Chains A and B, each alone.
Chain A
Amino acid sequence: DVKVTQSSRYLVKRTGEKVFLECVQDMDHENMFWYRQDPGLGLRLIYFSYDVKMKEKGDIPEGYSVSREKKERFSLILESASTNQTSMYLCASGSSIEAGAFFGQGTRLTVV
């Protein structure tokens, strides 16, 4: 089975802190994604990557950056956390669009 592992299930951070969310997949997938999930808004794509050191902005990239130094790891960075970034963050990976995406368990981030 594909496994996508997010480093934390729950995080509480202070406003202004730099926050790192880590995601690792074990299936050698080329594509990796970071989504944000909010009630009533569904999943919105923040950034995605289709190769090492490659990244593309999604629909809501403002306030976020990403890093992909190795194929299996895709990190989401909040440069200066704000309360409006309190949300559930979901990482996913996939080999192709036909295969769909496989999701991690999510990280619920609270910024206080």
Chain B
Amino acid sequence: AQSVTQPDIHITVSEGASLELRCNYSYGATPYLFWYVQSPGQGLQLLLKYFSGDTLVQGIKGFEAEFKRSQSSFNLRKPSVHWSDAAEYFCAVGAPNFGNEKLTFGTGTRLTIIP
């Protein structure tokens, strides 16, 4: 069974600084990997995804993530954060299996932006 670990519960970053949110997964083969963002009181919005090809993927809102098989990681990055990026971020892993194509989520990382 797949699993996801987000080791950072809460991260605080200054506006304009760079950001990296960590995600490690456990799965026997190449998984499908996703990053979602949740603004306060809202549902989850898909930021980006990876399942094959170029290991550096671009997403919405200026985010990118890099798949590193050797480290079982899929870290999310942004070169310069904006106050509107304050939210909770979830990494998720999925495995192709007809009739059982579900996503398993990490526990989330809450991002605070300081002026």
Contact = CB atoms under 8 A, between A and B. Distances in A.
A56 interface: yes
B100 A56 contact: yes
Interface stretch (A12-20, A64-72, A74-82, A96-104): A96-104
A42 B51 contact: no
A100 B46 contact: yes
A14 B16 CA distance: 47
B105 interface: yes
Nearest to B47: A100
Interface of B: 6, 9, 32, 34, 36, 41-46, 49, 51, 90, 92, 94-96, 99-108
Interface of A: 4, 31, 33, 35, 40-45, 48, 50, 56, 58, 90, 92, 94, 96-98, 100-106
